[in-house]
């Protein structure tokens, strides 16, 4: 494993702590979660913790000391000890010594020593870098360490006088992806795109949504992805108009559309792709009309992604195209400006066009700076996912009932505009129909 990206990130965080007056940062990883009785959910490290360490065992804490004080700068890992008996059951543990060497920390200690060492680590530091309010147990644990420091005031020990939000500092770093992250996101996008191609080949009337979900899980794991990045949505017929449909248990019928929103996680990084296609491999006239509208809205949104544009520019571009199209299809009446002003379009397009993408599918990073939408910059990754969802209603032309379409790709902001990472998933009607026809022949 190449630890350099993780060493670089720790150094950059310490540099930004230094420029804010220094201090000590404390970052625990995620805890194991019970699913039922003694069975646990598959373990996944905390995103921030993985970002800075690459170390994915549970029961670990990272302590970073900035450069202002004698002891700094220093990186310290607390982790589980080696345990030959437990390792027979659950597998290898690095232990502090192995983790220090493999992952490049200045020091490593047993997690069992943390509470005893914590007061000494925070004493006389100018600031504590910790995110309050996320994990009550950690707030209490740090509170106990502060109390222990105060008890030593006559020995010249004093607690930090300020607290900085550690996650806020890391969110800014995570918003701009480095080369290591972009390489992983490209691969996560490729794997998910391959799975979408597989789904297009396997879908047909009479099969169940879960059979298609199984194709995704198979392709993800086959290519080394550890997990789906979020619960896979395989929504046929009316389910396509339910934004977070996850039952995936319906038998798909001839003439219906199938909306699939599925992405994988690779070494901590997500892809997020939606494709919508006909179960029988041929778009009907009304399906084609709405599909081409959403495709045009997406093209307009993608054209709006470039450095200097603000975060909502792609959404505004998509809404303009969708609003005009909804009027043309007689789903709405009036002028484009009126439909946008009154937000009448939200009846058929009720979500935003983009979100940040990274380690978390809805990734961290502020969407606004003060009152202004964030300005896009190279290295940011965002989704572009316009849609149109037409539920049956008396005032809606019957031909469009239950047509739900979303097209979602992942865009990396580049110096000149953006690069779509997910182009390997077929998108045009011609490409989708050709792939599905080929699979049947
Ligand atoms: N799959 C979640 C989303 O598209 O935002
Ligand atoms: Mn998305
Ligand atoms: Mn999605």
On the question of a cis peptide bond just before residue 30, with omega within 30 degrees of 0, the verdict is: no
Q: Residue 33 C-alpha to ligand 1 middle, in angstroms?
A: 24
Is residue 363 lining ligand 1, measured as CB closer than 6 Å?
A: no
Ligand 1 atom at minimal distance to the Cα of residue 274 = 4
Is residue 356 lining ligand 1, measured as CB closer than 6 Å?
A: no
Identify which of 353, 355, 364 has the alpha carbon closest to the alpha carbon of residue 387. Answer: 353
How high is the mean pLDDT of the chain? 97
Q: Residue 354 C-alpha to ligand 2 middle, in angstroms?
A: 7
Ligand 1 atom at minimal distance to the Cα of residue 229 = 1
Is residue 243 lining ligand 1, measured as CB closer than 6 Å?
A: no
Burial of 144 (0-12, 13-18, 19+ CB in 10 A): exposed
Q: Alpha-carbon distance 163 to 347, whole Å?
A: 44
Name the one residue in this structure whose structure tokens are 């937000």: 343
Ligand 1 atom at minimal distance to the Cα of residue 362 = 5
Q: What's the mean pLDDT in 155-163?
A: 96
CATH 3.40.350.10 occupies which residues in the chain? 4-174
Contact 158/147 with Cβ under 8 angstroms?
A: no
Which helix (H) or strand (E) segment is 16 a member of?
Answer: helix 4-19
Both tokens of residue 263?
Answer: 């992405």
Q: What pLDDT does residue 213 have?
A: 98
Q: Alpha-carbon distance 407 to 399, whole Å?
A: 21
The beta strands (E) that lie in 230-378 are given as 233-236, 257-262, 264-266, 269-270, 273-278, 368-369, 372-373
Q: Alpha-carbon distance 1 to 268, whole Å?
A: 14
- Active-site annotation holds for 85: no
Cross-strand pairs, 75? 64
pLDDT band, residue 72 (cuts 50/70/90):
confident
**Beta-carbon neighbours within 5 Å of ion ligand 2:** 272, 383
Q: What pLDDT does residue 97 have?
A: 98
| CB atoms near residue 162 (< 10 Å) | 12
Q: Alpha-carbon distance 139 to 156, whole Å?
A: 24
Does the pLDDT at position 71 exceed 80? no
Does the pLDDT at position 69 exceed 70? no
Q: Alpha-carbon distance 260 to 273, whole Å?
A: 8
- pLDDT tens-digit series, residues 25-62: 999 999 999 999 999 999 999 999 999 999 999 999 99
Residue 393 exposure: Cα atoms within 13 Å on the Cβ side:
10
Is residue 230 lining ligand 1, measured as CB closer than 6 Å?
A: yes
Q: What pLDDT does residue 67 have?
A: 82
- pLDDT tens-digit series, residues 78-89: 999 999 999 999
Q: What's the mean pLDDT in 143-154?
A: 96
Ligand 1 atom at minimal distance to the Cα of residue 230 = 1
Cross-strand pairs, 262? 273
Contact 305/326 with Cβ under 8 angstroms?
A: no
Mutate to test the pocket of ligand 1, among 272, 350, 352, 407 (most ligand atoms within 8 A of CB): 272
Name the one residue in this structure whose structure tokens are 């020995």: 155
Is residue 256 lining ligand 1, measured as CB closer than 6 Å?
A: no
Q: Residue 158 C-alpha to ligand 1 middle, in angstroms?
A: 46
Contact 280/204 with Cβ under 8 angstroms?
A: yes
Is residue 245 lining ligand 1, measured as CB closer than 6 Å?
A: no
Q: What pLDDT does residue 194 have?
A: 98
pLDDT band, residue 1 (cuts 50/70/90):
confident
Q: State the catalytic residue, choosing from 181, 408, 409, 410.
A: 408
Mutate to test the pocket of ligand 1, among 355, 367, 407, 422 (most ligand atoms within 8 A of CB): 355
Closest-CA residue, ligand 1 atom 3, reads 272
- Active-site annotation holds for 406: yes
Q: What's the mean pLDDT in 67-74?
A: 77
Does the pLDDT at position 224 exceed 90? yes
Share of the chain above pLDDT 90, in %: 98
Does the pLDDT at position 70 exceed 80? no
CATH node for 176-440? 3.90.230.10
CA geometry: angle 254, 244, 432, nearest 5 deg: 40
| CB atoms near residue 286 (< 10 Å) | 16
- Active-site annotation holds for 244: yes
Identify which of 290, 26, 54 has the alpha carbon closest to the alpha carbon of residue 135. Answer: 26
Identify which of 153, 171, 164 has the alpha carbon closest to the alpha carbon of residue 22. Answer: 164
- Active-site annotation holds for 408: yes
Q: Alpha-carbon distance 279 to 282, whole Å?
A: 8
CATH for 4-174 (3.10.20.310, 3.40.350.10, 3.40.50.970, 3.40.50.720): 3.40.350.10
Q: Residue 272 C-alpha to ligand 1 middle, in angstroms?
A: 6
Query: Which DSSP letter does residue 307 get?
Result: T
- pLDDT tens-digit series, residues 393-429: 999 999 999 999 999 999 999 999 999 999 999 999 9
Both tokens of residue 92?
Answer: 């290898």
Q: Alpha-carbon distance 357 to 268, whole Å?
A: 12
Contact 43/82 with Cβ under 8 angstroms?
A: no
Identify which of 215, 257, 239 has the alpha carbon closest to the alpha carbon of residue 439. Answer: 215
Share of the chain above pLDDT 70, in %: 99
Does the pLDDT at position 351 exceed 70? yes
Ligand 1 atom at minimal distance to the Cα of residue 406 = 4
Q: Alpha-carbon distance 271 to 207, whole Å?
A: 26
| CB atoms near residue 378 (< 10 Å) | 15
**Beta-carbon neighbours within 5 Å of ion ligand 3:** 261, 272, 408
Both tokens of residue 403?
Answer: 């047509």
Both tokens of residue 375?
Answer: 């300005």
Q: What's the mean pLDDT in 102-126?
A: 97
- CA distances 236 to 206, 283, 400, Å, are 11, 14, 15
Q: What pLDDT does residue 331 have?
A: 97
Q: What's the mean pLDDT in 319-325?
A: 98
Burial of 244 (0-12, 13-18, 19+ CB in 10 A): exposed
- Active-site annotation holds for 401: no
CATH 3.90.230.10 occupies which residues in the chain? 176-440
């Amino acid at each position: 494993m190449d630890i350099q990206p993780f060493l670089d990130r720790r150094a950059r965080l310490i540099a930004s702590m230094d420029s804010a007056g220094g201090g000590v940062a404390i970052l625990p990883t995620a805890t194991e979660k019970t699913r039922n009785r003694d069975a646990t959910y598959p373990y996944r490290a905390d995103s921030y913790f993985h970002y800075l360490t690459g170390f994915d065992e549970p029961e670990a804490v990272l302590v970073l000391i900035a450069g202002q004080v004698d002891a700094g700068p220093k990186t310290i890992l607390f982790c589980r000890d080696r345990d030959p008996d437990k390792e027979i059951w659950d597998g290898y543990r690095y232990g502090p010594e192995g983790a220090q060497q493999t992952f490049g920390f200045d020091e490593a200690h047993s997690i069992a020593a943390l509470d005893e060492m914590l007061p000494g680590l925070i004493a006389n530091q100018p600031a504590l870098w910790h995110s309050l309010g996320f994990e009550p147990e950690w707030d209490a644990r740090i509170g106990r360490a502060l109390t222990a420091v105060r008890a030593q005031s006559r020995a010249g020990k004093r607690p930090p006088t300020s607290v900085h939000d550690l996650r806020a500092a890391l969110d800014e770093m995570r918003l701009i992806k480095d080369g290591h992250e972009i390489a992983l996101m490209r691969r996560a996008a490729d794997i998910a795109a391959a799975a979408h191609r597989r789904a297009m080949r396997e879908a047909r009337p009479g099969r169940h949504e879960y059979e298609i979900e199984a194709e995704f899980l198979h392709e993800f794991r086959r290519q080394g992805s550890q997990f789906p990045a979020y619960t896979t949505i395989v929504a046929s017929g009316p389910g396509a108009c339910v934004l977070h449909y996850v039952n995936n248990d319906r038998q798909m019928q001839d003439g219906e559309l199938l909306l699939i929103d599925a992405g994988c996680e690779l070494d901590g990084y997500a892809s997020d792709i939606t494709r919508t296609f006909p179960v029988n491999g041929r778009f009907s006239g009304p399906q084609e009309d709405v599909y081409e509208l959403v495709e045009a809205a997406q093209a307009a949104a993608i054209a709006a992604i470039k450095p200097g544009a603000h975060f909502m520019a792609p959404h505004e571009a998509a809404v303009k195209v969708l609003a005009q199209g909804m009027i043309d299809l007689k789903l709405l009446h009036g002028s484009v400006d009126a439909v946008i002003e009154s937000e009448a379009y939200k009846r058929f397009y009720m979500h935003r066009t983009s979100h940040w993408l990274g380690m978390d599918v809805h990734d961290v990073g502020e969407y606004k700076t003060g009152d202004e939408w964030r300005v896009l910059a190279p290295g940011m990754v965002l989704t572009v996912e316009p849609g149109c969802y037409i539920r049956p209603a008396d005032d809606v032309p019957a031909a469009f009932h239950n047509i739900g379409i979303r097209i979602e790709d992942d865009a990396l902001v580049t110096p000149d505009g953006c690069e779509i990472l997910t182009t390997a998933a077929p998108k045009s009607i011609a490409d989708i129909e050709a792939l599905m026809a080929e699979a049947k022949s």
